[in-house]
Amino acid sequence: MLKFQTALIAILIMCCVTLVACERTDSMLGPAPNDMTTGDDMSAKNVISFVPTTDVTTASVGEEIEIDVKITDGEGVAGYGAFFVFNTTALKYINTTQGDYLPAGGIWMSPELGDDGNYQVRLTVADSTATGVLARVEVAPDAPEAAIEFSIDEVLFQIPETQLPPEFVSPGAVYLAFSILASSPLGADTNPIAVDGDGTLATLTFEVLEATPGTVHLLEVNLSDANDETLAATLQNSMITVNAPAAP
């Protein structure tokens, strides 16, 4: 059992590569081009697309819209992390739900809007789930130091305009950044189960706040295989613009 718990922690550490981007630095965040390949393998495997599932061109104020993170031609994917930025003046982030691509029972971490109107972290490890401003899961009862925990400030925070490329910035807008991560459960060999093919990694939900263009950017996706090695990924359609028409 301890080997299982230790392996889960190793997967989490691997998945947290994306969270490095969440550290508050003074460097400018660069936009992810609409067609960008990361990793050493420049093949067209593991194509990641940012796709709205609701009509974002005519969304109404107060309407909730959903955006999927899709994967096409996946090959050997056992975990991932993703990093997003959005315009809080026009959009309210609600939550992110895990898609159907990876099997349930592994690790899932995402920020979400709580019932009290404040943001919290949802952390699931195997069959244990914790939510709160600090989400903590004890993966080894006899080793409390092995617990996994995230605070909301680590995974969702404001990004100053000075850290964004000029083409991202709208006058008077405020931007938040957040990260998610996921991994497959462990197989019989104590490695996470790798998945091939097409599917949905995650679905983001936002509420439209104003009749003004609002943007959501998928800035980075990191995929990993069953051996915790980084997989090449091609990122497409990395920016979604939500347009809510003004009331007549």
CA-based angle 179:3:5, to the nearest 5?
35
Question: Quick one: pLDDT band at residue 23, thresholds 50, 70, 90?
Answer: very low
Residues 6+ positions from 55 with CB-CB distance below 8 Å: none
Q: What percent of the chain has pLDDT over 70?
A: 79
**Span 174-178, mean pLDDT?**
93
Return the percentage of the chain with pLDDT > 90, whole number. 53
Q: Is the pLDDT of residue 22 over 50?
A: no
Top-confidence residue, 21 or 124: 124
Q: pLDDT-based confidence at 32, cuts 50/70/90?
A: very low
Q: Which tens digits make up the pLDDT trace of 206-215?
A: 999 988 888 9
How much is the average pLDDT of 97-125? Answer: 95
Task: Determine the residue type at 145.
Answer: E
The domains of the chain, with CATH numbers, are: 2-22+32-242 (2.60.40.680)
pLDDT of residue 94: 98
Q: Read off the tokens for 74.
A: 């996946």
* Pair of tokens at residue 53: 């599932």
pLDDT value of position 143: 67
More confidently predicted of 188 and 114: 114
Establish how many alpha carbons lie within 13 A of residue 45's alpha carbon, considering only the half-sphere containing its beta carbon: 17
Higher pLDDT, 245 or 11: 245
Cα gap 196→212, rounded to integer Å: 39
Return d(Cα 137, Cα 129) in angstroms, integer: 7
Q: Residue 188 — very low, low, confident or very high, per pLDDT cuts 50/70/90?
A: confident
Cα 26 to Cα 121: distance, rounded to the nearest angstrom? 25
Which is more confident, 248 or 235? 235
Question: Does the pLDDT of residue 198 top 60, yes or no?
Answer: yes
pLDDT value of residue 40: 41
HSE of 227, CA atoms in CB hemisphere, 13 A: 2
Q: What is the pLDDT of residues 46-76, one digit of tens each?
A: 999 999 998 888 888 999 999 999 999 999 9
